Structure 1
Amino acid sequence: MSNSVSKRPLLKPFSLLLLFLSSFLLLRLFLSSSATAKATATATASVFTSSVSETVPPPPLVRIRRTFRSYDDYVKLQLNKTLDSRLRRVWATRDWDRKVRVFTRFFSDLAAEGLLSNSSAALCIGARLGQEVAALRGLGVSGAVGMDLAPAPPLVVRGDFHRQPFPDASFDFEFSNVFDHALYPDRFAAEVERTLRPGGFAVLHVAVHRRGDKYSANDLLGGVDGLLALFNHSRLVRSRKVDAFGLDTEVVIQKLKH
């Protein structure tokens, strides 16, 4: 009896020690797990934040160079070049034959590809005095006509490429080398498609690797893809590098038949 009584005090401190050690180990394990979870959450948030901050909107395909107080101010700027008496004198004299020859070569190549024929109703957009119209008529395309803000009879009629003065599906063929002068490139493209007949062709000379002059209203940042993105009802036939009075790329598109 005395022996059993003497052993009980020894068991109680030992049990308390075991309980203390167990509690200590559980606490350490809990704190370690919490720290790991917090570090993982912080790392995940950091990666997510980094990916969001690095996501930037795509660059514009066509950049408009400047704003105008009104559309009339834009038209006046364009007419400053078209109606410049010195330039018109150059275009009508020493520049005339050279440009007609170059345009004749371009249009002859297009005719050889079957994109243009003598029976084509053809429109030259932004034709100024009409050298490209003269080239087409010289090749036998008698239905060729030019359009510009300032008319130049008998080759060029008055018209704005943002709202062409022609009915829907008027032309089999349209040519322009003034896309960079469009203040509203999407309207320019929409009007080309509106006035082209289904299956008709449009040929554009544009500046992809060069900047336009001070009268240019836009820069084509997306290259040929940036141009094609504006034409919702057409397909690309081909594009090629050219040397065309400061423009470097020729793009041929065809309006879809359906």
Structure 2
Amino acid sequence: MSNMHVGMNVTLTKPFILRCFIISLFLSLPFFLFLFRHLFSPQQHHRHVSIAATATTTNNNNSNLRIRPGYSSYDAYIQRQLNKTLNPRLRKIWTTRDWNRKIPVFARFFEELKEKKLLDKNSKALCIGARVGQEVEALRRVGVWDSVGMDLVPYPPLVVKGDFHNQPFENGTFDFEFSNVFDHALYPERFVAEIERTLKPNGVCVLHVALSRRADKFSANDLYSVEPLVALFKNSALVHVRDVDGFGLDTEVAFRKNTLR
């Protein structure tokens, strides 16, 4: 009798074990789907993901490049920049008093860059964060006619609409890019990556930055040395650094994009 009793227990427990196995598989299915998605899903191209997702914190931790806190979202950051760009009083100053005061200074900067073979009259040039196009006008006055500016607010015919974190231009469009608004970049790595993307091989980028003083209240970062810039320009070589008096900016830094191999 005891052997028969044991055999009956074994027979009765087989369906129970099978049901437990099936239930455990069903409960594990979400985990396996999650694992499969993360291991085998294709990576998206950086142009199609959000700016916040692609911005890294590598340089935020560098004591010589600090991102200013206080932006609750990227939209809040953009709106703060627009508050300055759309200010009627400032726009009047930029197109009158500043227009006549700044263009000759920018023209002198560009002439000196031509002498250093960092700019050519045949260059296709972009001015980043150009507001009403003073830099563009200066480039044209020194013979660089194929020049355009880019800003959040367009100012035709000199300035087109564009966000410097996501330039509206194809890869390898420009021979020369100039900007004096690096301090306004919330994501410096993205700012530089877009410059390198839209520069042609052997193209030149020139930045005017403030190292010895802090910029205005609309700035999104503070830079304390050239070293973080060198780290950000991953596909370019530092070719030129000098002191300048650039309307509150004290240092001119130039990079040349590497040629393709």
TM-score grouping bracket, smaller chain normalisation: 0.7 to 0.9
Does the alignment pair 1:140 with 2:121? no
2:239–2:254 contact (8 Å) kept in structure 1: yes
1:1-258 to 2 correspondence within 5 Å?
A: 59-221=62-224, 223-258=225-260
Report the structure number with the largest CA radius of gyration.
1
Q: Give the whole-Å Cα distance in 2 for the aligned partners of 1:131 and 1:59.
A: 33
Deviation at 1:204, TM superposition (A): 0.1
SS in 2 for 1:192: helix
Aligned CA distance change for structure 1 residues 59 and 193 (closer, same or farther; 3 Å): closer
SS in 2 for 1:202: strand
Structure 2 residue runs of 5 or longer lacking an equivalent are 1-60
Q: Give the whole-Å Cα distance in 2 for the aligned partners of 1:165 and 1:231.
A: 20
Superposed CA offset, 1:157-188 (max 9, x none): 00000000000000000000000000000000
Q: Give the whole-Å Cα distance in 1 for the aligned partners of 2:73 and 2:63.
A: 23
SS in 2 for 1:95: helix
Q: Give the whole-Å Cα distance in 2 for the aligned partners of 1:59 and 1:193.
A: 21
Matching residue's letter, 2:192: A
Q: Give the whole-Å Cα distance in 1 for the aligned partners of 2:252 and 2:186.
A: 20
* Percentage of pairs with the same residue: 62
Q: Give the whole-Å Cα distance in 1 for the aligned partners of 2:201 and 2:223.
A: 26
Q: When the two structures are superposed, what TM-score results if normalisation uses the length of structure 1?
A: 0.76
Matching residue's letter, 1:247: L
Q: Give the whole-Å Cα distance in 1 for the aligned partners of 2:174 and 2:70.
A: 32
Deviation at 1:207, TM superposition (A): 0.6
Question: How well do the aligned residues superpose, as a CA RMSD in angstroms?
Answer: 1.0
Q: When the two structures are superposed, what TM-score results if normalisation uses the length of structure 2?
A: 0.75
Deviation at 1:67, TM superposition (A): 3.5
Deviation at 1:142, TM superposition (A): 1.1
Match of 1:33? none
Where do 4+ consecutive residues of structure 1 move more than 6 Å? none
